[in-house]
Amino acid sequence: MLELRNVSKHVGRDIHIHPTSLTLHRGTLNVLLGPTLSGKTSLMRLMAGLDRPTEGQILFGGQDVTGMPVQKRNVAMVYQQFINYPALTVYENIASPMRTAGKDSATIDREVRKAAELLRLTPYLDRTPLNLSGGQQQRTALARAIVKNSNLVLLDEPLANLDYKLREELREELPKIFSASGAIFVYATTEPSEALLLGGNTATLSEGRVTQFGETIQVYRDPADFTTAKTFADPPLNSLDVTRQGDHFLLGEKPILPVPMHLTGIPAGPVRIAFQPHHLHLHAKPTSERLSARTQISEIAGSESFIHLEFAGQKWVLLTHGIHDIDADQTIDVHLDTRHLMAFHPRTGQSLAGAGHEAA
């Protein structure tokens, strides 16, 4: 078990990590989700022992390792920018941590070939890294981390430089690898979709603060605050400041939406409602409410379309399947599935109700 107890990191007057407490258990996958410069890498460096916290304690298996350097810890780390030994073959790159640990030749050969097969590196075992593509070099670094048999494996956006098809395949395979290892895995990403696909637990980060930690799907469905909800939205979260009065949300003095069943417990008065772009539709559904919005631009991305809208001075995005080339500057009807509506305090950003809606 890895414990962070009120750990913080200051660099001069800058606070890179605000006081943070986390407990990560063996055999778990733990995602650090947040935008660039949110503190993901800083937090991982503290976990690894590459940096020492300004305040707080780090314990591993009940032992205080706060001041213990990374060389004395059984830690493996894979970065977005892959690191391999250029003079060694792929086989020897993967084998290197086991040779350092004094493993016998049969064990080394078995584990190297097993990792190479998993990461589709078998045809390249006799090549040196300079004769590989960037994706093959990153897979070599991943294989080396897997065979090291570390208690803690830190993966800092490890798939970012891979091609789309391989990235999708590895996202599906990695959770199986993690669950079988018994190690603690920490995986940093900027992509909400990657966090959801990997599963496990997720800590959302914003400006050096962990805003929420828990089961990934639970954090996604029930964000504790508006910041967490925004962190877990791609495209950006849609929101609108309204007033709850009776059974409706009002924009100014005009009722625009009925209060859905799961939000009937929130108090009357100002409220910020929010929803994911894929919960706004071009066509009516039994659980949706109609709104009129002004179109701005349409973006077609493969089999999906991003329709940018303006509603009551707010910029919204509608994400839908299929190709929809809609002209700009026209008023269209859109349909909001209110089962997925979230509500937050307009000033503090705290959630006003559990978002007990159906699976997204």
Q: What percent of the chain has pLDDT over 70?
A: 96
Q: Is the pTM of this model over 0.85?
A: yes
How far apart CA 103 and CA 324 sit, in angstroms, is 58
Number of Cβ within a 10 Å radius of residue 261: 11
Question: What is the pLDDT at residue 80?
Answer: 72
Give the tens place of pLDDT for each residue, 110-137.
999 988 988 889 999 999 998 988 778 8
Give the tens place of pLDDT for each residue, 27-42.
889 999 999 999 999 9
Region 207-221: what's the mean pLDDT? 96
Give the tens place of pLDDT for each residue, 155-170.
988 887 777 777 777 7
Question: What is the pLDDT at residue 180?
Answer: 66
Give the tens place of pLDDT for each residue, 6-31.
999 999 999 999 999 999 998 889 99
Q: What percent of the chain has pLDDT over 90?
A: 70
pLDDT over 50 at 358, yes or no: no
Question: What is the pLDDT at residue 178?
Answer: 66
Say how many CA atoms lie within 13 Å of 117 toward its Cβ: 5
Average pLDDT along the chain: 90
Comparing 146-160, 163-177, 227-241, the range with the smallest average pLDDT is 163-177
pLDDT over 50 at 356, yes or no: no
* 218-253 residues labelled b (16+ CB within 10 A) or e (exposed): ebbbbbbbbbbbbbbbbbebbbbebbbeeeebebee
Question: What is the pLDDT at residue 355?
Answer: 38
Question: What is the pLDDT at residue 324?
Answer: 87
Joined together, the tokens standing for residue 311 give: 């509603």
Crossing angle of helices 134-147 and 105-118, in 10° steps, is 140
Sorted by sequence, the CB contacts under 8 Å of residue 239 that are 6+ apart come out as 226, 272, 273, 274, 275, 314
Sorted by sequence, the CB contacts under 8 Å of residue 310 that are 6+ apart come out as 293, 294, 296, 316
User: Is 244:268 a contact under the CB 8 Å cutoff?
Assistant: yes
Region 331-360: what's the mean pLDDT? 82
Residue type at 65 in one-letter notation: V
Give the model's confidence band at 73: pLDDT under 50 very low, under 70 low, under 90 confident, else very high. confident
pLDDT over 80 at 172, yes or no: no
**Better-scored residue on pLDDT, 62 or 165:** 62
**Better-scored residue on pLDDT, 279 or 324:** 279
φ, ψ at 171 (rounded to 5°): -60, -35
How far apart CA 39 and CA 44 sit, in angstroms, is 9
Beta bridge partners of 288: 337
Q: Which domains does the chain have, with CATH numbers?
A: 2-225 (3.40.50.300), 235-344 (2.40.50.140)
